[in-house]
């Protein structure tokens, strides 16, 4: 509905029929994507405030924006597939024991009696992955591994293949938060790859391959085999991103520092002054507040962003994204028979905080005024609920209603008279109002199971000067400053 297509997508869930653009600034419902804060941090600050297409100033202001919410992690059951994640004492899934030694076969075992099984139907065709943790059977050759002291390779007792991590560096967005794994670990024909080299310690199996991390020196990032079960709350670990135009960002969980990250200008940005994002890849969740503090090169705090853990869903909150002076879309809907309003329905707790994991189905209706429900959406590219329906499930606690005007009072008088003549016997879908009449707002009502209903009044006008096109026309023809 509101996104644009044609640019590449990424990850296992970003394929047809989910074709939402990765890089679009807005999603399918017109909600801002996380990329909006990224663009703002490395691009918007470099556009001069005197530019005609920049309706607000950013001089002297700075951006710090936490991308993810801070809700309790999902507790859905996970597979026991082998994964490769940053080594951490916080992750019980990495407490693995290799019972063998140099030249002596053994098993790779978890404390609860599961072993890595290297069974592979045809190792000569391709790498076999993902390997699984299964109940240990000492006599099964596919569970036996021998660590070669010279090559640091772990060779499988059944097929002679070597334990190998994935070829690409870990990619957090899709692989960890959605699939609960980072890199696949499988069996491949033995070769000289660094990804096949391992070091066994008392309770850990560390991969000796070199992996890239954008925010930490490579020497400080080590990657370990994990059984994919994660911590007690059902997640491997929390990966979190912060966008900023400042030199440094420090992250706090309930006041406890999680470390600072320096933001360096990557090659993909257009100016030397541009920044990028910071990542924290190993956060243990606890209820409370998550705060990002941005500092300049002198160490002075310039911007702060805080995300709170929400409570239980308490109500539906309606707000008008368009028309709105805040979004540069005019003051009122224009009664021209075509104009539409974008209404945001947010599931909030008793304190008014967004409940980011809410999935309530929200139904929309018009209780009064010259309007109709034109469509709805939630921004989820994988959702196949009908866009024309007056209802939609919430995605990340949000859903959208599109409301269209059903009267024409603003077009030229001769045009309205002619429309009435044309539609005299056909039954026009849009009411043509020729004589002046009192204006009444469009009142939208939203309901969701278990929550009280909410309503919002959408202002309307017959004056084209109050509509979005008049706002856009105000800057038309003015020079645009370029750098």
Q: What percent of the chain has pLDDT over 90?
A: 35
Most confidently predicted of 248-257, 273-282, 401-410: 248-257
Average pLDDT (322-335) is 88
Backbone angles phi, psi at 142, to 5 degrees: -70, -15
Cα first-last separation, the chain? 33
Position 445 scores a pLDDT of 98
Mapping DSSP to helix (H, G, I), strand (E, B) and coil, where does residue 101 land? strand
Closest CA to 279 of 296, 260, 298: 260
Separation of alpha carbons 214 and 172, rounded Å: 12
Q: Report, in this order, helix, strand and coil percent for the chain, each rounded to 5.
A: 10, 35, 55
Give the confidence band of 342 by pLDDT, cuts at 50, 70, 90.
very high
Position 224 scores a pLDDT of 85
Separation of alpha carbons 119 and 135, rounded Å: 13
Left (φ > 0), alpha (ψ -120 to 50) or beta: where does 422 sit? alpha
Position 144 scores a pLDDT of 94
Closest CA to 184 of 231, 132, 138: 132
pLDDT tens by residue, 76-117: 444 567 877 777 776 777 888 899 988 899 999 988 888 999
**Residues 214, 241, 222: CA angle, nearest 5 degrees:** 45
Q: Per mean pLDDT, which range of 15-19, 256-260, 466-470 is the poorest? A: 15-19
Position 444 scores a pLDDT of 98
Closest CA to 5 of 388, 402, 382, 18: 18
Position 218 scores a pLDDT of 46
How remote is the C-alpha of 288 from its chain's centroid? 21
Separation of alpha carbons 246 and 63, rounded Å: 7
Looking at residue 462, the DSSP 8-state letter turns out to be S
Q: Where do the domains of the chain lie?
A: 34-72+241-307, 83-226, 315-473
Average pLDDT (296-319) is 95
Q: What percent of the chain has pLDDT over 70?
A: 75
* 444 against 261, higher pLDDT: 444
Average pLDDT (120-140) is 76
Give the confidence band of 74 by pLDDT, cuts at 50, 70, 90.
low
Range 315-473 classified under CATH 2.60.40.10: yes
Write out the H or E segment, with its range, that includes residue 333: strand 333-334
DSSP 153-187: BEEETTT--EEEE-SSPP-HHHHTTTTS-SEEEEE
Separation of alpha carbons 99 and 214, rounded Å: 35
Is the pLDDT at 392 greater than 90? The verdict is: yes
Mapping DSSP to helix (H, G, I), strand (E, B) and coil, where does residue 434 land? coil
Position 483 scores a pLDDT of 41
Q: Per mean pLDDT, which range of 2-11, 168-177, 427-436 is the poorest? A: 168-177
Dmax (CA) of the chain: 95
**Starting from the edge strand earliest in sequence, which strands make up the sheet with 154-156, in order?**
145-147, 154-156, 162-165, 183-188, 83-86, 223-226, 204-207, 198-201
Give me the half-sphere count of Cα atoms (radius 13 Å) on the Cβ side of residue 43. Answer: 11
Q: How many CB atoms lie within 10 A of CB 12?
A: 9
Position 482 scores a pLDDT of 44
Range 34-72+241-307 classified under CATH 2.60.40.10: yes
pLDDT tens by residue, 181-202: 345 688 888 888 888 999 998 7
Is the fold of 34-72+241-307 the same as that of 315-473?
A: yes
Whole-structure pTM value: 0.67
pLDDT tens by residue, 263-303: 755 444 444 444 568 888 768 788 999 999 999 889 999 99
Looking at residue 417, the DSSP 8-state letter turns out to be H
Fold topology of 83-226: Trefoil (Acidic Fibroblast Growth Factor, subunit A) (2.80.10)
What lies within 8 Å, CB to CB, of 215 at 6+ separation is: 261, 262, 278, 279
């Amino acid at each position: 509905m509101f996104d644009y297509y044609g640019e590449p997508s990424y990850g296992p869930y970003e394929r047809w029929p989910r074709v939402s653009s990765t890089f679009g600034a807005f999603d399918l419902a017109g909600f801002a994507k996380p990329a909006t804060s990224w663009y703002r941090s490395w691009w918007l600050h470099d556009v001069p405030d005197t530019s005609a297409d920049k309706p607000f100033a950013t001089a002297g202001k700075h951006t710090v924006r936490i991308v993810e919410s801070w809700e309790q992690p999902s507790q859905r059951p996970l597979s026991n597939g082998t994964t490769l994640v940053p080594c951490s004492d916080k992750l019980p899934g990495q407490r693995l024991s290799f019972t063998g030694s140099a030249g002596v076969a053994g098993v790779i075992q978890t404390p609860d009696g599961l072993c890595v099984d290297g069974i592979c139907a045809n190792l000569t065709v391709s790498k076999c992955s993902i390997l699984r943790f299964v109940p240990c059977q000492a006599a099964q050759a596919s569970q036996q591994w021998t660590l070669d002291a010279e090559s640091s390779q772990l060779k499988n007792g059944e097929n002679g293949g070597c334990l190998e991590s994935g070829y690409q560096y870990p990619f957090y967005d899709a692989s960890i938060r959605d699939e609960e794994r980072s890199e696949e670990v499988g069996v491949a024909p033995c070769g000289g790859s660094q990804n096949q080299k391992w070091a066994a310690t008392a309770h850990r199996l560390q991969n000796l391959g070199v992996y890239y991390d954008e925010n930490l020196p490579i020497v400080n990032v080590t990657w370990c085999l994990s059984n994919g079960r994660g911590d007690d709350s059902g997640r491997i670990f929390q990966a979190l991103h912060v966008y900023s135009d400042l030199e440094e960002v420090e992250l706090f969980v309930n006041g406890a520092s999680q470390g600072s990250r320096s933001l360096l200008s990557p090659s993909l940005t257009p100016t030397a002054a541009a920044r990028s994002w910071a990542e924290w890849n190993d956060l243990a969740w606890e209820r409370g507040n998550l705060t990002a503090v941005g500092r300049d090169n002198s160490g002075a705090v310039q911007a702060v962003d805080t995300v709170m853990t929400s409570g239980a869903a308490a109500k539906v909150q309606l707000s008008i994204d368009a028309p709105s002076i805040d979004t540069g879309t005019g003051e009122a809907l224009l009664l021209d028979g075509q104009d539409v309003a974008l209404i945001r329905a947010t599931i909030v707790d008793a304190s008014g905080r967004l409940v980011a994991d809410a999935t309530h189905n929200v139904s929309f209706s018009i209780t009064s005024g010259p309007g109709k429900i034109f469509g709805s959406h939630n921004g989820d590219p994988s959702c196949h609920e009908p866009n024309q329906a007056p209802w939609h499930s919430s995605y990340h606690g949000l859903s959208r209603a599109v409301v269209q005007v059903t009267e024409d009072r603003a077009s030229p008088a001769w045009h309205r008279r002619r429309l009435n003549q044309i539609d005299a016997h056909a039954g026009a879908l849009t009411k043509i109002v020729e004589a002046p009449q009192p204006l009444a707002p469009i009142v939208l009502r939203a309901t969701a199971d278990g929550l009280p209903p909410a309503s919002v009044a959408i202002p309307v006008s017959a004056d084209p000067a109050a509509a979005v096109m008049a706002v856009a026309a105000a800057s038309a023809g003015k020079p645009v400053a370029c750098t």
